[in-house]
């Protein structure tokens, strides 16, 4: 079985794939990059493990539901978006494997039989696999946002890549909802440049060391006043091991001003074609 890569994806806002008009159009470049993701895989994954920035627990927790429901964790959107479905099956067997791997590494793991898909999962997966026919496992963050702990969890879960499991950290490279406007242009660009350097240019050990001190990066706390949307990256980088990183989506005019990006680790170094800032995009 060919080894799957690992991704950190910026997932967009709310239930955007189910909307029309300007809000949806603002994510057009992101949507195109997500639709292109399956072509970057060596084979169709047997399951997808999603670490979402929208689920946190006192300890790392996996959903064990065979048919997960939906978590409509957004506000102010049209009524129909509170009835949408992403009907992918769950992955109880994979959940048991994740708990096993975590505990073998000395990491406390919990289970939740009722947790459904939050929008960090279903809004990101809808453009990638609209058929919703690949099992999906949800894995929480740990609520203390401890970077070292999340890197360690990623390292513990790395064997899943050789078992046909695609690991995705779903967050956002910029996430300050109070400054989601033109004021975000300079800080988001500064932080994104630092993140690109850390994930692409640094050797794996240096990459992890830089992420341990991410708060020292330019505009770090302006871009992430709360770390929930950045911490899924740490699990992805831990699972990436020594694989190099490549930017698979970037733009500097998201919502008219914001610089945002997504990354892939492993498989190969082929650009996705959706890295505007790096010169591989349109």
pLDDT tens sequence across 1-31: 799 999 999 999 999 999 999 999 999 999 9
Q: Distance (Å, rounded) from C-alpha 236 to C-alpha 50?
A: 10
What confidence tens digit (pLDDT) does each residue in 63-114 have? 999 999 999 999 999 999 999 999 999 999 999 999 999 999 999 999 999 9
Q: 68: exposed, middle or buried (C-beta count within 10 Å: 0-12, 13-18, 19+)?
A: buried
Contact yes or no for 89/136 (Cβ under 8 A): yes
pTM, to two decimals = 0.97
Q: Distance (Å, rounded) from C-alpha 251 to C-alpha 274?
A: 8
Contact yes or no for 51/169 (Cβ under 8 A): yes
Q: What is the reported pLDDT for 280?
A: 58
Contact yes or no for 52/163 (Cβ under 8 A): no
Domains in the chain (CATH in brackets) are 6-265 (3.40.830.10)
Give the contacts of 217 (CB within 8 A, at least 6 positions apart). Answer: 191, 194, 195, 198
Listed as ranges, residues in the chain with pLDDT below 50 are 281-282
Across 129-207, where does the E strand assignment appear? 136-142, 165-171
- The helices-and-strands tally (H runs, E runs) of the chain is 9, 8
Question: Closest Cα to residue 134, out of 7, 3, 45?
Answer: 45
Q: What is the reported pLDDT for 279?
A: 66
């Amino acid at each position: 079985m060919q080894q799957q890569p690992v991704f950190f994806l910026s997932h967009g806002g709310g239930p955007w794939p189910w909307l029309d008009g300007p809000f949806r159009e603002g994510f057009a470049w992101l949507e195109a990059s997500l639709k292109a993701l399956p072509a970057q895989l060596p084979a169709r994954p047997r399951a997808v493990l999603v670490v979402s920035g929208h689920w946190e627990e006192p300890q790392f927790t996996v959903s064990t539901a065979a048919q997960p429901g939906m978590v409509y964790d957004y506000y102010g959107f049209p009524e129909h978006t509170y009835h949408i479905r992403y009907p992918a099956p769950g992955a109880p067997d994979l959940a048991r494997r994740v708990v096993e791997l975590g505990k073998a590494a000395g990491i406390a793991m919990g289970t939740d039989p009722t947790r459904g898909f939050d929008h960090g999962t279903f809004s990101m997966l809808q453009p990638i696999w609209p058929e919703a026919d690949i099992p999906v496992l949800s894995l929480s963050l740990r609520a203390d946002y401890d970077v070292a702990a999340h890197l360690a969890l990623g390292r513990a879960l790395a064997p899943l890549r050789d078992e046909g499991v695609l690991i995705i950290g779903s967050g956002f490279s910029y996430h300050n909802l109070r400054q989601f406007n033109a004021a975000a242009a300079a800080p988001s660009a500064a932080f994104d440049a630092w993140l690109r350097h850390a994930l692409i240019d640094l050797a794996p050990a240096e990459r992890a060391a830089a992420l341990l001190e991410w708060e020292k990066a330019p505009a770090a706390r302006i871009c992430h006043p709360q770390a929930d949307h950045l911490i899924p990256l740490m699990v992805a980088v831990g699972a990436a091991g020594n694989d190099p990183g490549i930017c698979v989506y970037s733009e500097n005019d998201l919502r008219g001003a914001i610089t945002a990006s997504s990354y892939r680790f492993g498989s190969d170094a082929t650009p996705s074609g959706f890295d505007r800032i790096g010169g591989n995009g349109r």
